[in-house]
Amino acid sequence: TPAIGYGVGGVKEAILNRVSGRVVTQKTPEALAKVIKELYYDRHKLDLLGKTAAIYIANHFSLQSSYHSFMVALDQSGWVDKLQIPRASKFLVDSPVGSAKLTQPLAIKSGIAKNNSSIISGVGIQGYTRQGFGELEQPLPDIGIFRPIQWLLWPEGEFAIIASNPRKGQLVIACRNVSQGQFLEVWQQGKLLLRVAVHHCGIDQVNVFTLPISLLEGVNLFSLKTETYHVDQSNRHLAVLIEGITFTEQLDWEPLREGSQES
């Protein structure tokens, strides 16, 4: 359930505004009531917050996330080797020559059976990656990822969403980033829909982006573009790790009937 609270005092990480809940900047009952009323009457916003909040909490406050943070701290202090602590999983990366060593482990797992629709989901749609993505990989519960994942490769990857009829709604992209100064662009049929900085650059931190989209009946083509990357041991140019691309439909929208016009 999304949380609502005043943005004063307490633990800042408890509520990430518009991801795990809503932060009220004005410390007044009226301001709090306004936000509560907004979510109460807009079920789409409330449902979307419910989805992104679950991702955020699992990646920051779960047992698996705590284990990963603990192991990173031990590794950076040298205690993993000194105590010969066995790890539940291996995190490996080969950095480009002359580049700084990653301060966070980069999770690379072996591929599993091909099923490109797994990272794209939504009611009334089907989706698949076309090109510019790595193989589908296993979940990584040690860093709070519990579903199959795919790396978006630099500089661009394409995916398709097939809609059974015209639809309108929100596209939610959840990803992990390993590069400083990363930017992500979302394009649909040659039109730029979103350009945003990917601020979190630790493999254990999730970035969630939401944008409004319209789908035509049939195949809708999208592309994701990035600016920077890291090279792994297989010489892949890894841009961001895609946890999921989710379409949430706007239920109160109806397509125009033939002969009608928008007001």
DSSP string, 192-249: EEEEEE----STT--EEEEEEEEE-SEEEEEEEEES--EE-TT--EEEEEEEEEEEEE
Q: What is the pLDDT of residue 123?
A: 81
User: In this predicted structure, what is the pLDDT of residue 108?
Assistant: 38
CA gap 179, 173 in Å, rounded: 17
Token digits for 144? 């709070």
Question: Do the Cβ atoms of 219 and 160 come closer than 8 Å?
Answer: yes
Give the position of tokens 């010489």.
235
- Residue ranges of domains in the chain, CATH in brackets: 116-249 (2.60.120.260)
- Look up residue 73 and give its amino acid: A
pTM equals 0.56
Per-residue model confidence as pLDDT tens for the chain (263 residues): 678 888 777 666 678 777 788 888 888 999 999 989 988 888 888 888 887 777 777 666 666 666 666 766 776 677 777 777 665 544 433 334 433 333 443 433 333 333 344 799 888 888 899 899 999 888 888 888 888 899 999 999 999 998 888 999 999 999 999 999 999 999 998 999 999 999 998 888 899 999 999 999 888 999 999 999 999 888 899 999 999 999 988 876 666 544 444 43
Burial 48-66 (b: 16+ CB within 10 A, else e): bbebbbebbbbbbeeebbe
pLDDT at 54: 76
CA distance 104 to 250: 38
pLDDT for the residue numbered 182: 96
The pLDDT score that the predictor gives to residue 104 is 40
What pLDDT score does 253 carry?
61
Q: Is residue 199 within 8 Å of 158, Cβ to Cβ?
A: no
The pLDDT assigned to 218 comes to 86
